[in-house]
Amino acid sequence: MSRIPVIWYARPDPCRDRQLTETGITVAAHLLPGVDDELGAINTAILSSIDARCVRRLRDRIRRAAQPDAIEILGYALDLATGPCSVSDIARRSHRTERTLQRRCTIMGIPSPKRLLSLVRIFTVQRLAEWSGQPYGTVAVALGFSDRSNYRRLVRGVFGQTPTEIELCGGHFYVAKTIVDSVC
């Protein structure tokens, strides 16, 4: 039975969550009335639940091969990738300073937090562009890039290729492989 992601707009109820899970419904996000009412939280929940299986597969691949701290850092980056985010957001979530986060990545021998965040943002844009059939530039702007050219510059800076060339190399699968290879 395939799991259908649902955005639940009510107070969390473990009993009801269990009933939904047993019927094949996965609660992708809980939005609390009076807390998560703003449009940004709703958009983030929707974007996070779209093609969630793809993100879950990437998390599983990382979990099997990477160090615990790398798993944590990439997990936070994946959680934040559907909107404008920065290394300071990841540092705040991991209860570290940006400098400590940077040092931790250096010690583990993985790319800097900024590069990891860039890879995850590119993965998210590619994944949602492929899923929706929309041009990558439109999706990038919807995910918080101020302009389509900013996304193109980011892709060129990270991969040395254009977004179209990334798409020809395998799109989000290619980016996911790059992420896994960089942390393992």
Write down the domain spans for the chain.
1-49, 54-183
H helix intervals, 50-171:
52-65, 68-80, 87-93, 98-108, 113-132, 136-142, 148-159, 163-169
Picking from 26-35, 60-69, 145-154, which range would have the lowest pLDDT averaged per residue? 26-35
Task: Please provide the distance, in angstroms rounded to a whole number, between the alpha carbons at the two ends of the chain.
Answer: 33
- CA 61, 66, 69, 73 torsion: positive or negative? negative
Torsion angle of alpha carbons 168, 53, 11, 38, nearest 10°? 0
166 class by beta-carbon count within 10 Å (0-12 exposed, 13-18 middle, 19+ buried): buried
How large is the average pLDDT for residues 64-80? Answer: 93
Among candidates 108, 98, 99, which has minimal Cα distance to 68?
Answer: 108
Does residue 41 register a pLDDT over 70? Answer: no
Residue with tokens 């943002």: 121
Which fold, 54-183?
A: Arc Repressor Mutant, subunit A (1.10.10)
pLDDT at 47 (0 to 100): 63
pLDDT at 9 (0 to 100): 60
Confidence of residue 166 (pLDDT cuts 50, 70, 90): very high
- Pick 93 or 40 by higher pLDDT: 93
- Pick 38 or 149 by higher pLDDT: 149
- Pick 13 or 42 by higher pLDDT: 13
Confidence of residue 46 (pLDDT cuts 50, 70, 90): low
**Tokens for 44?**
């983030």
Residue with tokens 């998210």: 124
How large is the average pLDDT for residues 60-71? Answer: 93
Tell me the longest C-alpha to C-alpha distance in the chain.
Answer: 50
Does residue 4 register a pLDDT over 80? Answer: no
